[in-house]
Amino acid sequence: MPLNTINLPGLQINVNLPKYKVTFEASLGTIDFRLNLSGIDNCQAYGRGEKHLTISTSNIHLLKLILKSIIYTNTVYDIDSLDIVTFTLGEHKAQIPVSIRQPPIPRLYDPGRERKMSDLVTITTKTFLRYDKLRTLLQSIRQYYPDIKVIVADDNETPEKIDDPNVEQYIMPFAKGWFAGRNLALSQVTTKYFLWVDDDFLFTNDTKIEKLLDVLEATDLDLVGGKVDKNYFSFKLVLEDGGEDGDCLHWRSGGYHTIPGIPQCVLTSGVVNFFLAHTNQVQSVGFDPKLSRVAHTEFFIDALGRLRIGSCNHVSVGHQKKEVPKDKELVKTFKKYNSFRENTDEQQRLKLGLLYFKNRLSCFIKS
């Protein structure tokens, strides 16, 4: 921990010399040893408790005792850093990494006495110009989870109140955007986990949140996805060092390998828009509000190296049929919705510009 002292274990010398001179050098801390040298003439030590320590002696047994008691004390406060202690004997050097890290305080969640799903999981979604789809989704949720809280981020121009005591509806500025809505919904979650669903999904007999919860609680995964309407989808992100010109990011379909003990799930980099996740962990990544329309992979790029992600094929959610409504007002709304969802050339340029700049990329290749 920062500003604390530790022993440097495993230091030893196994060579016969007439005289031994060893040195230690550190940059973020000091070096000393616990052995008392009072009354011992055959040893000199210079720089005890400083960044540079030198020990000279002809007694190999005494030197071995000193090396067993070498200590490192961190003197530069940082919550996460690395010091390299250099241990030298003549032309020989050993470099010892010392990880200096302030552990975060654990965040505990009350699972409730009965450990009900509603105490552990909140369902989140965003809606825009699709109240008919949203109401159908909510009806299907209530069929299987009557009292689970649902948080709705709503950026409709003319909001309609959702009449459900277990729905929290948060009104946003008109057409504020996809990822902004995700951020808002996530910011109001108070349970350990949240389930993300799109507003046109449909809960079925196969939408078993419990099974996804079992995966998260049995592993160190931060996020686990399922299937959408029998569509099992996952992808890998591989970052290739590109030097000064920027790195190259490769998008490849599929997962890395099966999760030990859970044959229905694989480790991966990204999943569909149906996933259960640790609230705190995903909040630490967030959703870039600059991405207001069509976005998905971008979140998982931001999460690369930060979140452990799995994809499972034994839990699924349905998808409402995509059909043109017959009601004239709904037809207008349908067309308006599609106009906002259209991925224009200008939007694509903005997305790619942000992707390349923010992530210091020289190329992004799908293969």
Q: What is the pLDDT of residues 186-235, one digit of tens each?
A: 999 999 999 999 999 999 999 999 999 999 999 999 999 999 998 888 99
Which of the four pLDDT bands, split at 50, 70 and 90, describes residue 99? Answer: very high
Tell whether 145 and 209 lie within a shared domain: yes
- Could you tell me if 124 and 194 are in contact, meaning their C-beta atoms sit under 8 angstroms apart? yes
The pTM score is 0.83
Tell whether 252 and 361 lie within a shared domain: yes
Tell whether 126 and 97 lie within a shared domain: no
Domain count, the chain: 2
Which of the four pLDDT bands, split at 50, 70 and 90, describes residue 339? Answer: low
Tell whether 30 and 77 lie within a shared domain: yes
Tell whether 56 and 144 lie within a shared domain: no
Residue 106 lies inside a defined structural domain of this protein: no
Tell whether 129 and 39 lie within a shared domain: no
Query: What's the CA gap between 209 and 167, in Å, rounded?
Result: 18
Tell whether 26 and 146 lie within a shared domain: no
Residue 110 lies inside a defined structural domain of this protein: no
CATH number of the domain enclosing 223? 3.90.550.10
Q: What is the pLDDT of residue 261?
A: 93
pLDDT, greater one: 343 or 347:
347
Domain that holds residue 13: 5-101
Residue 112 lies inside a defined structural domain of this protein: no
Query: What's the CA gap between 82 and 100, in Å, rounded?
Result: 6
Burial 181-206 (b: 16+ CB within 10 A, else e): bbbbbbeebebbbbbbbbbbbbbeee
Which segments within 166-308 are labelled E, that is strand?
167-171, 193-196, 201-202, 223-228, 234-240, 247-253, 258-259, 262-268, 270-271, 275-278
Tell whether 96 and 170 lie within a shared domain: no
Tell whether 134 and 91 lie within a shared domain: no
224-259 per-position pLDDT tens digit: 999 999 888 899 999 999 888 899 999 999 999 999
Residue 107 lies inside a defined structural domain of this protein: no
Q: What is the pLDDT of residue 251?
A: 95
